[in-house]
Structure 1
Amino acid sequence: MLEIWQQFKQNYLIKYWNPVAAVIAAGLLSAYYFGVTGTYWAVTGEFTRWGGHALQTLGVDVSEWSYYKIIGMEGTIFTRIDGVMILGMFAGCISAALWANNVKWRNQPHKRRIVQALIGGALAGFGARLAMGCNLASLFTGIPQFSVHAWFFTLATAIGTYFGVKFTLLPMFRVKLELKKGAAKLKETDPKQASRRFWLGMVVFFAYLIASLYVMTHSIKLGFAMFCGLAFGLLIERAQICFTSAFRDLWVTGRAYMAKAIIFGIMVGTIGVFSYIQLGVSPKIMWAGPNAIVGGLLFGFGIVLAGGCETGWMYRSMEGQVHFMWVGLGNVIGSTYLAYAWDDIAPALALDYEKLNLLKSFGPVGGLLVNYGLLILCLIAVIWWERRFLAKAKAKIAASAQQSCGC
């Protein structure tokens, strides 16, 4: 039995998980999450509420802000579905990181990177809330809702990340390497540290799991949200799921592994959400206006500048990477500022436009086919780009080899 446990522990709790399988699992789980709670897997809306609560603590009255009337400010982080789900994500992330002894305080020594994290995070937070959702609510779980705004946001995000990559490759973002005199000293490690951290991770995991099961006896939705958040946290940390890397890899290296995984996950989530919609659960449809496009551009640019998206900064900050804590702070600041500016920009960018639903525009079967058709086109485009990029890279290498040998 001990040998079986050790093998299970090593293969499933310590080693990284297959990203494709993990993203597909996240897509399936997000469909169940929608069916039970009636909402989608989303985080930036709750971050915006955190900003509102912070302002209230400072004496600012946000009760008349239209944006907070739209997303709601009732309750606390412990009584809202989004709140307990996000707490679950943090619990899942720290549990998984502790299991693998992957927690280490990694400070950011360069002030330039801190500024970059704050500005990028703020742009991403502002853009996400302008579009009524980030890489989750307006992409991964937004597309399965059959909302046209999610398609506008996704395409704009891809463009935004492309320009973000070009911008961050400028010389101004290069940090000089500092070589210190003297031989590097290897830090002695505590051989029992990994074991202690593993069991601490188990304590965190089971404490939140038991709490979620207990809450289910009083509120199915709230308890299930806690449970799903814990599972989402495990998935994103163990599989290192980051939407920023999915887009950035396409433009920098041509690698499409994570992008294809995300498309597969959306495909799985789509049929699950469609089933619940047919059973009477109302989808989340948002304005398909310039807000989705402008928001997507800002979000895409921001996550590349910051170095991580919402899922990315959450699990990396739980691993002790201080840079991504600054990204998270920037997210809250940017999303809260959008709530402040909403009344001035919403009529022109969002409120005068329709909330377009593919299932209403094309009928249930037609809308499903259109959604899958667009996803297949995205998959084809990603594969084409990957092959084109790699072919050009190989041709360039071959040409350089010929020049060097004088052929």
Structure 2
Amino acid sequence: MLEIWQQFKQNYLIKYWNPVAAVIAAGLISAYYFGVTGTYWAVTGEFTRWGGHMLQALGVDVTEWSYYKIIGMDGTVFTRIDGVMILGMFAGCISAALWANNIKWRNQPHKRRIFQALVGGALAGFGARLAMGCNLASLFTGIPQFSVHAWFFTIATAVGTYFGVKFTLLPMFRVKLQLKKGAAKLDETDPKRASRRFRLGMLVFFAYFIASLYVMQSSVKLGFAMLCGLAFGLLIERAQICFTSAFRDLWVTGRAYMAKAIIFGILAGTIGVFSYIQLGVPAKIMWAGPNAIIGGLLFGFGIVLAGGCETGWMYRSMEGQVHFMWVGVGNVAGSTLLAYVWDDIAPVLALDYEKLNLLKEFGPVGGLLVNYALLIACLIAVLWWEKRFLAKAKAKIGNTSINLT
């Protein structure tokens, strides 16, 4: 038995998980999450509430801000579905990182990088809430819920990441390497420390898991949200799911592995969400206006500038990477700023536009087919780009070799 446990522990708790399988699992869980709780897997809406609570603690009255009336400010992080789900994500991330002994305090010594983290995180937070959805709320829930605004946001995000890559490759963002005297010291793995961390990770995991089951006795939705959050956290940390790298890799190296995984996850989740909608669970459809396009551009640019999206900064900060803690601070600040200026910009950018639903525009079957056709078109485009990019890179290497000879 001990040998079986050690093998299971090594293969499934310590080693990294296959990103494709993990993203598909996340897509399926997000569908169940929608069906049971009636809401979608999203994080920046709750971050915006956190900013509102902070302002209230400082004496600022946000009760009359229209944005907070839209997303709601009732309760606390411990009593809201989004709140306990996000706490579950953090618990899942830190549990998984502890299992793999993947926690190390990594400070950010460069002020320029901290500036990037704060500004990029703020742009991403502002853009996500302007569009009424981040990468999760649009790609994993907005598109499966057949909201046209999510398609606008996703395409704009891809464009924004492209320009973000071009911008961050400028010489001004290069950090000078500093050589230090003496031989570099390699960290030695301490078996006892790794064992202690694994047990601590198990303690965190089971504590939140049992708490979820306990809460489920009085509120099925709240307890289920806690369980889903825990699962989401495990998946994003063990599979290192980051939407920034998915887009950035396309433009920098032509590598499309994570981008394809995300599309597969959306494909898997869509049919589940469609089933729940047909059973009567109402979809959340948002304004398909300039807010979705501008928000997507800002979000895409911001996540590349910051170096991480919502899922990326959450699991990396739990691993002890200080840079991504700053990204999180910027995220909350940018989301809260959008709530502050919403009344001034919403009438022009959002409120005067329709909330377009593919299922209503094309009918249930037609809307499902259109959504899948668009997803397959995205997959074909990604495959084409990957093949084209790698072919050009191979040709360039071949030309270089000929010139050298």
Classify the TM-score, shorter chain: over 0.9
1:3-402 map, 5 Å:
3-187=3-187, 189-402=189-402
1:208 alignment partner, SS class: helix
Structure 2 CA distance for aligned equivalents of residues 138 and 262 of structure 1:
12
Q: State the one-letter code of the partner of 1:232.
A: F
Note the C-alpha offset of 1:368.
Answer: 0.2
Note the C-alpha offset of 1:188.
Answer: 5.3
Question: Deviations 1:332-383 (Å, cap 9, x if unpaired)?
Answer: 0000000000000000000000000000000000000000000000000000
Q: State the one-letter code of the partner of 1:344.
A: D
With the length of structure 1 as denominator, give the TM-score of the two structures. Answer: 0.99
2:376 alignment partner, SS class: helix
Question: Deviations 1:239-270 (Å, cap 9, x if unpaired)?
Answer: 00000000000000000000000000000110
Q: State the one-letter code of the partner of 2:110.
A: H
Note the C-alpha offset of 1:166.
Answer: 0.1
More off after superposition, 389-398 vs 138-147: 138-147
Question: Deviations 1:306-350 (Å, cap 9, x if unpaired)?
Answer: 000000000000000000000000000000000000000000000
Structure 2 CA distance for aligned equivalents of residues 51 and 129 of structure 1:
13
Note the C-alpha offset of 1:138.
Answer: 1.5
Give 5+ residue unaligned stretches, structure 1: none
Note the C-alpha offset of 1:181.
Answer: 1.5
Q: Is the 8 A contact 2:48 2:339 kept in 1?
A: yes
With the length of structure 2 as denominator, give the TM-score of the two structures. Answer: 0.99
Structure 2 CA distance for aligned equivalents of residues 138 and 182 of structure 1:
49
Give 5+ residue unaligned stretches, structure 2: none
Structure 2 CA distance for aligned equivalents of residues 365 and 162 of structure 1:
34
Question: Deviations 1:252-304 (Å, cap 9, x if unpaired)?
Answer: 00000000000000001100000000000000100000000000000000000
Q: Percent identity?
A: 89
Structure 2 CA distance for aligned equivalents of residues 37 and 185 of structure 1:
50
Structure 2 CA distance for aligned equivalents of residues 171 and 383 of structure 1:
31
2:286 alignment partner, SS class: coil
Q: Is the 8 A contact 2:14 2:100 kept in 1?
A: yes
Note the C-alpha offset of 1:141.
Answer: 1.4
**Ranges of 4+ aligned residues in structure 1 off by more than 3 Å:** 185-190
Q: Is the 8 A contact 2:30 2:140 kept in 1?
A: no
Aligned residues: 405
